[in-house]
Amino acid sequence: MPELPEVEVTRRGIAPHLVGRRIAAIAVREPRLRWRVPASIAQFAGRTVRAVKRRGKYLLIDCGAGHLIVHLGMSGSLRMVDRDAPPKKHDHFDLVLDRQLLRLRDPRRFGAVLWTDQPPGAHPLLRHLGIEPLSRALDGRALHRITRARRTAIKQLLMDSRLVVGIGNIYASESLFLARIRPQKRAARLTHAQCSLLASAIKRTLRAAIRAGGSSLRDYVQSDGELGCFQTRTWVYGRAGEACRRCATPIRRIVQGQRASYYCPACQR
C-alpha cells in the first residue's frame, strides 16, 4: 500500500505538470472504486489547478472553487502520460490537460477520486487525521503526550492514522530500528528521551524514503513510471533471518495486528 513517502513522491512528480494548467476534460472509465466516483466531478473541467497538496496519504488538487481528493488505495498509481496514450485495463480515471493527462491506474480499485467545495480538512475522510510526521508538530514532546496511557504496542500506535498519519508498516519498523526500540514495547512505557529519538527517527526514515522514490513492493510506481528503491536498502523490513547491518544478529519477524514487524533483538533491546 502506498504510504506517506510514495504519496509525497507522487505529489512532487505531478505538481509541476498540473499547477497553472487548465483542466480540459475529465474521463471516468470505471467509477466503482473504493467509493464511487461522483458524476458531478465533471464540473472541474474548465478550472485551473492552483496547487497540489498532501494530507496524510490523500492528494489534494486545489482548483480554486473546490478540491479533488485522490487516494491511491492499495495498488494505485498516478502517472503523467501523453494525451493520446491509449488506456490500459486498469486505467480508471484521467484528468485531461492540454498536451498531457494525469492517469490513475488501480488494479484492485481500493483507491478514491472524490471532490469537495469545502475546506478539505473538514471532509469526513480527513477531519480525524492525526499529526503530520514531517511537520514541526511531531517532536519528542508531542509523541510522549500521544503515548501516555496507551496500552498498545508502539509499532501499532505509529500506524494509527488518528494519532500520527501516513507512516505505514515499512517505515514504522525502520523508524523503531533507528530509535533502538522494540516494536512490541508498550507505548506508555516510552521515556521522554526515547520519544525524542523516535520522532527524529521517523522524520529521518520518511525523508530517506522520499529521496529514494518510495518503496515499490508490488504495484506502486512514480509519476514518471520509475520504481521506488527504498525497499532495497532497509535496515530490518523484509529481512527476516538475514544479518543485521549493524551487529550481524539475525533479524526477527513477528506479527502484530495482522501485519509483519521486523526488528533486531540485539540493537533493539
> Which three three-digit cell numbers place residue 9?
513522491
Among 10, 18, 131, which residue's Cα sits nearest to residue 71?
A: 10
> Which three three-digit cell numbers place residue 218?
508490488
Is 174 considered catalytic here?
no
Residue among 12, 150, 253, 259 flagged as catalytic? 259
Distance CA 18, CA 98 (A): 10
Is 259 considered catalytic here?
yes
Is 119 considered catalytic here?
no
Residue among 11, 55, 57, 182 flagged as catalytic? 57
Is 57 considered catalytic here?
yes
Is the Cα dihedral 72, 77, 82, 85 positive or negative? negative
> Which three three-digit cell numbers place residue 245?
547491518
CB atoms inside a 10 Å sphere around CB 38: 13
Contacts with 15 (C-beta within 8 Å, 6 or more apart), sequence order:
51, 52
Distance CA 42, CA 12 (A): 25
Contacts with 210 (C-beta within 8 Å, 6 or more apart), sequence order:
5, 8, 9, 12
Residues annotated as catalytic are 2-3, 57, 259
